[in-house]
A and B are shown apart, each in its own frame.
Chain A
């Protein structure tokens, strides 16, 4: 019995080694397709409107909340998103990805529209929670990308730039009229989020 256990052990190792070598063969191509990987990664967040508006909402909300949220949210988001991405890479099925992303647009849009000011940690946890879903959606396609690293860099950069555009738009909050415009924009994002949520739940076609 002991012998058998040992044997199983060895088999497992052989398998691991084989897989590792295979990973090596796959990675050997990684220097090729950098441009393609970057572009496909960069476009990924842009193709889903629900992704796009949720990311802009993060920037807008950060700008509304002012310091330190204005920089804390965009800096923590990529890190948490990467953790969600890891789940996607590992192929761990996360229930309700589409619902989570659609709800994130709804929730973050509502926060901006109502000019909600919860304590910082609540805002961070809320944004972080949704970041996992976004990361998972992008990360799931990472292993199949022509160049996984370039793909990852592409979608992280795109997400970051969407935050930035939200923050830049958010500088309008310096003026009273701008403040109202931003809240209106938040309302629009929330409305779109509601639509996507309804679609994700199968309420509308």
Chain B
């Protein structure tokens, strides 16, 4: 059983890919791209965790992240739209969900290059998870632009808010860490919900 565990974990994560469908084409591809990660909690919560983490880092890291994370997400989304078969990579999402929450809870100050690396890898994976097969031509560009803009908006506003509140209020950094622990708890429960049934069989 011990040796099988990693494999089971990986397998348990596969079904997630099927979610990456368009929310609605009613608003056009741009907004479909923008709403896709924001309406799905399994994307939004890890994004928020990364943004909170960025807010707890020195401001240089957070600032650099504003540019790099959306770029990474854009790259990932393009990959996700082009090569949806090798979907295994996108499932590291679940691990990121939990571990980003943990990092926020611990309020770890990472070395700038380490934080950037985490953000880039996570961005590509997340973008990949948001890829879709339902867009073509101009729609494809608009969709990728939408996901990227969503990444930029969520990252910018949340990390700035976290940075400001932890710098200006005594209780600020504690509030951010508490939010981090909530996200971590959600990550634990969600991972359990997806993985436990498979382990028990």
| A30 interface contact, C-beta 8 A | yes
Q: Are A148 and B188 in contact (CB under 8 A)?
A: no
Residues of B within 8 A of A142 (CB): 189, 193
Within A6-40, the residues touching B (CB, 8 Å) are: 12, 15-17, 19-21, 23-25, 27-28, 30-31, 34
Residues of B within 8 A of A83 (CB): 188
Within B92-147, the residues touching A (CB, 8 Å) are: 105
Within B153-192, the residues touching A (CB, 8 Å) are: 171, 174, 177-178, 181-182, 184-186, 188-190, 192
Q: Are A24 and B14 in contact (CB under 8 A)?
A: yes
Q: Binding site of A, secondary structure by majority: helix, strand, loop or mixed?
A: helix
Residues of B within 8 A of A20 (CB): 11-12, 14-15, 198
Q: Are A82 and B198 in contact (CB under 8 A)?
A: no
| Size bin of chain B's contact surface | 35 or more
| B8 interface contact, C-beta 8 A | yes
Least CB distance, B171 to chain A, in whole angstroms:
8
Least CB distance, A34 to chain B, in whole angstroms:
7
How distant is the Cα of A6 from the Cα of B197 in the complex, in angstroms? 23
Closest to B23 in A: A31
How distant is the Cα of A28 from the Cα of B19 in the complex, in angstroms? 6
How distant is the Cα of A17 from the Cα of B10 in the complex, in angstroms? 12
With A75-B181, A78-B184, A79-B185 known as contacts, the answer to whether A148 contacts B193 (CB < 8 A) is yes
| Size bin of chain A's contact surface | 35 or more
How distant is the Cα of A111 from the Cα of B48 in the complex, in angstroms? 35
Given contacts A24-B14, A74-B178, A153-B182, 4 further A-B contacts (CB under 8 A): A16-B201, A28-B15, A143-B193, A160-B182
What are the nearest 9 A-B pairs in CB distance? A24-B15, A82-B185, A78-B185, A82-B188, A86-B192, A71-B174, A152-B189, A90-B196, A75-B181
Jot down 18 A-B pairs with beta carbons below 8 A, ordered by A.
A20-B14, A23-B12, A23-B15, A24-B16, A27-B19, A27-B194, A31-B19, A31-B23, A74-B181, A79-B188, A82-B189, A85-B185, A90-B200, A142-B189, A148-B190, A149-B41, A149-B42, A149-B186
**Which A residues contact B (CB, under 8 angstroms)?**
12, 15-17, 19-21, 23-25, 27-28, 30-31, 34, 71, 74-79, 81-83, 85-86, 89-91, 139, 142-143, 147-150, 152-153, 156-157, 160
